Chain A
């Protein structure tokens, strides 16, 4: 087993994939706590579908760098979704459901009509559930991912206190002079970036799991925002790493293996929480 592993690790591409996976897991878990607590989980889900539609469009247009299309489209949708989500007039959740299902259908339609690929089902499947093998990453993608992840982590650290204030009690924060609109917008943009990043790793249908599971697990165990954030980051990285290693060894699809680990971690945390609570 260790032999197979070291054999694989000799490939630079596998090492890249591991780095990328860990960074994505870290980033997605950081904002997961806020997303869950602000009841924004659905935005993450909606955005991942938008990203799928954008990716299909990019594939059809034969763009050499599809990130140039996917990233802006997702970021703009994030800002729009946040706006409808906070407006009392439009039913926010309905709007999001509409946009997300719409772009899913639109994306699939585009791929069906215009795709030149011989393996359409395979293409669709890998955009939805992540590539079957992580070794398909290109070097540029790895570099972009590293840069964006570092930016996300820096953003999170610099804005940590503001994110807490806005998550805990937005009205109070606003009344005492925190620019809550700006913070919400930044959070939405960062979520969009994270979602686009995670597309390659786990596919658009499984992204929400990556964002939400570690946060929910950590919330079973810890009582303070800081502890929950740290715990969910650690859990997410550990699950991603074990998931990726297992998928290399067992030849299972990366995305679903990672999510399976996340789900198992949640069950474990839930049980520990129950045991401690019921002592």
Chain B
């Protein structure tokens, strides 16, 4: 069974709908890119998938042993204040909090997991550094390591490369692709359609017309052709 099956899902706030009815599935190991204009409801959809807001209609079915709370995610804008005192290690470790349940402290395994994920993100030697003193790209990697602590299966990334320079952007994409090769399912929101087409296996385009299919199908679809052409100009 698919990890996530989305059936007639309508998202929005209170009774004001943002996205039309959506239908799509995410299989284990997929790399799905969600594209669409500003304000088309990508972040709203992601928050609904994370159960942060209630769906206005339709269903989200979790399968393949995935629990509702086992989705790691990278927020679009972090509400984290500029002056928040927190070390990299404290932040990464906090990704394990959800799995602790009632247990008050982190176990040895969880601490090891946090170390391992910091290494995976190339953050060795940063563990005692203060988060607010890192560069944007480094901060993004810290939050990615935290997300990895929260999941073994699925990562939801909301515009992970916004604000990064081209070189760091490329590194970020490679890092995400590497995670996908290691078997983690990726759902990424992006405005970078060329990169989406290059890396993703499936594309979900939301906006006036909704498209869901493989990247190949997207390239040949009307919406895809239009956007790719726009970018090339």
Contacts and interface: CB of A to CB of B under 8 A. Distances in A.
Main secondary structure of the interface of B (DSSP, over half): loop
A172 B150 CA distance: 10
Interface string A166-178: 0011111111111
A224 B85 contact: yes
A81 B99 CA distance: 30
A120 interface: no
Contact of B97 (A162, A222, A224): A162
A225 B86 contact: yes
B78 interface: yes
B73 A223 contact: no
Given A161-B104, A161-B105, A169-B78, A178 B97 contact: yes
A160 interface: yes
B85 A177 contact: no
A37 B90 contact: no
Contacts, number: 93
B130 interface: yes
B85 A175 contact: no
A75 B201 CA distance: 53
A224 B80 contact: no
A168 B104 contact: no
Task: Output the residue of B72, B75, B91, B99 with the most chain A CB within 10 A.
Answer: B91
A176 B97 contact: yes
A149 B95 CA distance: 30
Contacts of B106: 161
A160 B78 contact: no
Interface string B69-91: 11111010011110111110011
Interface string A3-45: 0000000000000000000000000000000000101000000
A226 B130 CA distance: 12
Given A161-B104, A171-B75, A224 B128 contact: yes
Contacts of A170: 79
A177 B96 CA distance: 10
A270 interface: no
A223 B130 contact: yes
Given A161-B105, A175-B51, A225 B97 contact: no
Nearest to A222: B85
A164 interface: yes
B66 interface: no
Contacts of B57: none
A79 interface: no
Contacts of A90: none
B146 interface: yes
A165 B97 contact: yes
Contacts of B95: 172, 176
A114 interface: no
Interface string B42-85: 00000100111000000000000000111111010011110111
B90 A226 contact: yes
Nearest to A229: B85
Contacts of B99: 176-177
A168 B78 CA distance: 10
B85 A172 contact: no
B98 A173 contact: yes
A225 B87 contact: yes
B94 interface: yes
Nearest to A39: B81
Contacts of A39: 81
Task: Output the residue of B68, B85, B87 with the most chain A CB within 10 A.
Answer: B85
A171 B81 contact: no
B44 to A, nearest CB: 13
Given A159-B104, A225-B90, A173 B83 contact: no
A37 B83 CA distance: 8
A62 B104 CA distance: 42
Contacts of B129: 223
Task: Output the residue of A170, A173, A225 with the most chain B CB within 10 A.
Answer: A225
Given A161-B105, A224-B130, A219 B83 contact: yes
17 contacts: A159-B104, A161-B94, A161-B97, A161-B100, A161-B106, A164-B90, A171-B75, A172-B75, A175-B69, A175-B71, A176-B70, A176-B71, A176-B97, A176-B98, A224-B85, A224-B87, A225-B85
The list of the 6 closest CB pairs from A to B, nearest first, reads A177-B69, A176-B98, A177-B98, A223-B130, A224-B87, A175-B50
